[in-house]
Amino acid sequence: MNKHLLSMHDLTAEDVTRVLDTAASFREVGSRVIKKVPALRGRTVVNFFMENSTRTRISFELAAKRLSADVINFSAGGSSVSKGESLKDTALTLQAMGADAIVIRHSSSGSPLQLTRWVEGHVLNAGDGTHEHPTQGLLDLYTMREKLGRLEGLRVAIVGDVMHSRVARSLSFGLVKMGAEVTLVGPPTLIPPEAPEWGVHVGYDIDAVVPKLDVCYILRVQKERQRQEYFPSVREYARLFGLTRERAALLPEGSLVMHPGPMNRGIEIDSDVADLPTSVIEEQVTNGIAIRMALLYLLLGGSGEGEVA
């Protein structure tokens, strides 16, 4: 494994399998009465969140605590960042406090990479701008593998605003790496022009794709990242690309509906569809804790000098 997790490209297919297998053991820990193991006792994990987040921050916090690490939560609002402190000075402060791992969420793409140049600890990307969100991608791979028994050959559509979606990037790279067949579906304005280089198919008609899927992965319409209108109206988007009840009925038996959250019910996904048994959106959240425990364990647990007798 690389020292840091900045992108899905930091992991080989074998690494991905190792992360998913390790996460399976942490799922078992999460089902115990005492959901805590002493693996990372005495280590310090800093959650450095410069952008709003509920599930990723809580998930990382819980993951670190269940490994017995000490956790410091640090967000833009209540810190010196609001007094104008630069990313570099903040990073050096965290470094001086002896952080073994820094989990960073930032609105600027590439800030986790920049952070690795200033700190000695491990850096985990928890979402940077429109670049990547590898832990989300991994928890999605875990959920698919657990539910469908494999990743190789799975037919997965990622539907919506791929352009602004770091989740879509990490998930596409991960799925292609593991041998799945990925189709990106969305308005032409929201499909990045370089997408075919990722090894994926591109489609613009959701109705043509849905009947041949194992997984229908719905992306959130990210109003906060759109500086201009990429589609005429939310209602038109919902009609053309939303996973309505009628469309969900066309999904093959046993296929999954997934969404990274938070959902805009009624826009990209019908409220009824989100609550169907085929939808595994809540399990994605539970699996997220196990995946983040696995990553912290594999990165921090292997940071020593060599063999111990």
C-alpha 169, offset from chain centre: 10
- 227 part of the interface to another protein, by CB under 8 A: no
CB atoms within 10 A of CB 227: 6
46 vs 75: CA distance, rounded Å: 10
Which is catalytic among the residues 4, 66, 122, 133?
133
- Answer for which of 84, 254, 277, 306 binds another protein (CB under 8 A) is 306
Backbone angles phi, psi at 158, to 5 degrees: -110, 115
Active site includes 189?
no
Backbone angles phi, psi at 235, to 5 degrees: -65, -40
- 213 part of the interface to another protein, by CB under 8 A: no
What mask, x for binding another protein by CB under 8 A, covers residues 61 to 100? Answer: ------x---------------------------------
- 291 part of the interface to another protein, by CB under 8 A: no
- Answer for which of 17, 22, 79, 244 binds another protein (CB under 8 A) is 22
Which is catalytic among the residues 57, 66, 105, 164?
105
- 266 part of the interface to another protein, by CB under 8 A: no
- Answer for which of 43, 131, 133, 292 binds another protein (CB under 8 A) is 43
- Answer for which of 15, 39, 70, 230 binds another protein (CB under 8 A) is 39
Kindly determine how many residues on this chain lie close enough to bind another protein according to the rule CB under 8 A: 30
- Answer for which of 15, 24, 93, 222 binds another protein (CB under 8 A) is 24
Query: Would you list the DSSP string of 25-93?
Result: HHHHHHTSSS----TTTT-EEEEEESS--SHHHHHHHHHHHHTT-EEEEEESTTSGGGGT--HHHHHHH
Active site includes 155?
no
Contacts of 53 (CB under 8 A, 6+ apart): 105, 126, 127
Which residue lies nearer to another protein by CB, 157 or 290? 290
- 217 part of the interface to another protein, by CB under 8 A: no
From residue 169, alpha-carbon distances to 12, 30, 122, 278, 284 in Å are: 16, 29, 22, 24, 17
- Answer for which of 10, 15, 17, 25 binds another protein (CB under 8 A) is 25
Contacts of 207 (CB under 8 A, 6+ apart): 247, 250
Active site includes 133?
yes
Which is catalytic among the residues 56, 90, 130, 135?
56
Report the relative pairing of strands 101-106 and 181-185 from DSSP bridges: unpaired
The residue behind tokens 């992991």 is 11
Which of 130, 115, 119 shows the shortest CA–CA distance to 161?
A: 130
Distance in angstroms between the alpha carbons of the first and the last residue of the chain: 23
Active site includes 177?
no
Active site includes 105?
yes
- 300 part of the interface to another protein, by CB under 8 A: yes
Residues tagged active-site? 55-56, 83, 105, 133
Task: Give residues in contact with another protein (CB under 8 A).
Answer: 1, 21-22, 24-25, 28-29, 32-34, 36-40, 43, 67, 297-309
